[in-house]
Amino acid sequence: MRIGIIGAGALGGTFAALLARAGHEVEVTARGSSLAAIRAEGIRLSGGFGAAHARVDVGEVLRARPDLVLVCTKAQDAEAAISANAAVIDGVPVVVVQNGLDGVAIAERLLPRSSCMGVLSIIAANYTEPGVVRVTTRATSYLGRGDGPADAECTRIAAILSDAVPVVAIGGFRGAQWSKLVVNMLNAVPTIVGRSVQEVVDDRRLRRVVTASMRETVRVGIARGVRFGAVQGLGDRRLRLFALLPLAVGQVLPWLMRVRMGDVPNLGSTQQSIRRGQPTEIDFLNGAVVREASVAGMDAPVNRALTALVHEVEQHGVLPVERVLELALR
C-alpha cells in the first residue's frame, strides 16, 4: 500500500520507518533541516520497536496520491499542512495522529471527500536530531472516531497499520481523546523546568502540580458530559474517582504513568519542540482544558497558569522551579 505521512517528526518518523519496514511504500513531508536530513540519510529509528533505517520519498508536500494518509504534525500546524496537501489527498482515507481534541474535525472540514479518523498514540519518542528518532516507550495506539462503536473502516485501517505497529480500533473515541488529554498533562511542567518527565514525577512538589492539572482536566471533562474512554489503564470509573481525591492521594496517578514509562528519559513532545526552537502545541493541550472549562462555565486556573508559563519558556527559556511550585499552593 502507498501511505503518505504528513509530518515526519517523532511520531511521523516512527510510523514511517515501521510502515516502510513492513513493506509499504511510504512518502513523507518535512521542512528545513529535517527535509534535508531525510533526503540524504532517510529516517533512522531505534529503541522500543527495534532498529530500522527507512529510505523514503520526501518533500515539502506529497507528490503522489496515496492510498492512506497519516497526519502527524503538531496540532497547531495541522490546518496549514492539510490545506497544503488537500489537492492530492482529498478523497483518500485520512488518519490524524495528534494530541488535543480538534484534529479530526479540522481534517473533516478541509477534506470533505475523505473519510477521517483519529489515532491516539501513547508511544513516547525523542526526536531531537533531524531524521533520527528513538522510541523510549513502546505502546499500543488507538484508532477511532466519534462516540459510537468502532466501524468497519476503522477496523480495516487499524489492521493495516498493525502490520507495522500495534493499533487497535476502539469505540467512544471522543472520550478516549479526553483520557489522552489527561495523559498529556505530563508535558507542561517538564517543559517549564527543563527536566525529563520522570524527574518531574519523582519530585513530590512538582508531582503535586502535575496531579492538580490532571484533576482539573478530568473535572472539566465531567462538566462537559464526557464519558472517558479506556486508554492505557485509564477509564471513566477510574478517572471519576480520581477527580474526587485530594491531591495527596491523587498523586498515585502520575506516579503509575511514570512507572509504565520506564527509566529512559522522556522529554515529552512539548519540551522537544522547545529544544528545536519551535512553537509548542500547549494551546491545544492545557489550553484546550481552559477553553472547554469556559464553555462549561468554569475556570481552570492551574491549566491556564501552566499554559502561560510554557509560552514564557518559548520566549525566554527554562524557568526556576519556584515559578511552578507557586501553583501547588493554590
Place of cell 469556559: 294
How far apart are alpha carbons 293 and 101 in whole angstroms? 14
**Range list of H helices, 245-295:** 247-250, 252-261, 269-275, 286-295
pLDDT at site 329: 54
Q: How many domains, the chain?
A: 2
- Are 141 and 271 within one domain? no
Q: Is 155 exposed, middle or buried (0-12, 13-18, 19+ CB in 10 A)?
A: middle
Under DSSP, the state recorded for 123 is -
Of 151, 171, 191, the position where a domain reaches its end is: 171
How far apart are alpha carbons 245 and 217 in whole angstroms? 14
In terms of pTM, does the model score above 0.85? Answer: yes
pLDDT band at 211 (very low <50, low <70, confident <90, very high): very high
- Are 269 and 247 within one domain? yes
- Are 66 and 184 within one domain? no
Specify the CATH number for the domain of residue 47. 3.40.50.720
The residue segments making up the domain with residue 119 are 2-171
| Strand ranges in 21-104 using DSSP code E only, listed in sequence order | 25-29, 43-47, 52-54, 57-59, 68-71, 94-97
Of 171, 204, 234, the position where a domain reaches its end is: 171
- Are 119 and 256 within one domain? no
- Are 154 and 195 within one domain? no
The mean per-residue pLDDT over the stretch 165-174 comes to 95
41-82 pLDDT per residue, tens: 999 999 999 999 999 999 999 999 999 999 999 999 999 999
Contact 256, 188 (CB under 8 A): no
How many Cβ atoms from other residues are within 10 Å of residue 162's Cβ? 16
Distances, alpha carbon 137 to alpha carbons 12, 17, 126, 143, 208, in Å: 15, 16, 10, 19, 23
Instruction: Indicate the average pLDDT of the chain.
Output: 94
pLDDT at site 56: 97
- Are 165 and 189 within one domain? no
Specify the CATH number for the domain of residue 288. 1.10.1040.10
pLDDT at site 108: 97
- Are 7 and 82 within one domain? yes
How far apart are alpha carbons 243 and 177 in whole angstroms? 17
- Are 167 and 181 within one domain? no
pLDDT at site 272: 87
pLDDT at site 122: 87
- Are 51 and 112 within one domain? yes
The mean per-residue pLDDT over the stretch 215-236 comes to 94
- Are 138 and 8 within one domain? yes
